[in-house]
A and B are shown apart, each in its own frame.
Chain A
Amino acid sequence: MHNIFLILLLIAISNSFDTARELFLKSTINSVAAPHPANIRNVFRFIIKLLQKPKVYLSFLCSICSLFVYLFVLSKVDLNFAFSLDSMHYIFIAVTAKIFLKEKVGLKRWVGTGFVVLGIILVTLS
């Protein structure tokens, strides 16, 4: 087994890329009017508009970076360990969505996020 802290750090990096991707995507989608009514033609126009925003390409880049770091982690540890810890992005996204997107995070969601934290600690200790 490789150094567990290094693996944790790498999973955290992979999840940070995931989080950045979600934030880029959400802030881009927020900046474009939602397709209304949601028929195929309007959705297609919506996607074309999104593809004109540079942030969308940043989010693609983040996806690729995240995938490669994750694959590297998978080459070193068991799948069940890596996949369980991959839920770290639930914590990151809850915190960053509140800070950067000014979203409201309710009590239920914080309780849920707390359970995810607890689960990650237990999986790491096992």
Chain B
Amino acid sequence: MFKKKLTVKILLFLILTDILETFIQFCFKKSAVSATGLTVTSLGDTFVFAKTVISSPFLWVGICSVLVIFVIWSTILSKIDLSVAVPVASFSYILVPLTSIIFLHEKISGLRWLGIFCILIGIIFASLSSKEKIHQETDA
């Protein structure tokens, strides 16, 4: 059942998961910003922190998006090999820093970009080996 061919439809869904993942991270960051001033030194502070982030609508939008991405991702994986899906989906590792620069005015040095690319290469490499087991199943 596992297919290797990336169709336009699946590619569009994969790009959608990239954008959604970036959106989720953006929402989480926005919800956390409301608690930036808080220092957590006791158990009571932990509850204050939790209360602050829970009351942010951004957190709930983010959590809902996590559920949506879960459904899309599960559907994608039923149609295509993990070793094809993961490299496309891990482009959020580039989209998130780009969003950080544009919308959150963060600064990213050359060394950090190099690190991000290393992580990306690592994820792609690791996912390529996932086809080993699946091939045995389809060949049988």
A residues in contact (CB < 8 Å) with B: 38, 68, 70-76, 78-81, 83-84, 87, 90, 94, 106-109, 111-126
Contact = CB atoms under 8 A, between A and B. Distances in A.
A68 B109 contact: no
Nearest to B78: A38
15 contacts: A71-B28, A71-B35, A71-B59, A74-B33, A79-B29, A79-B99, A79-B100, A80-B108, A90-B123, A113-B126, A116-B118, A119-B115, A119-B122, A120-B115, A123-B115
Nearest to A115: B122
Given A120-B115, A122-B112, 11 more contacts: A70-B28, A75-B36, A79-B26, A83-B93, A84-B116, A108-B126, A109-B129, A112-B121, A119-B115, A122-B118, A125-B111
Interface residues of B, number: 45
Interface of B: 25-26, 28-29, 31-33, 35-36, 38, 40, 49-50, 53, 59, 78, 93, 96-97, 99-101, 104, 106, 108-109, 111-112, 114-129, 132
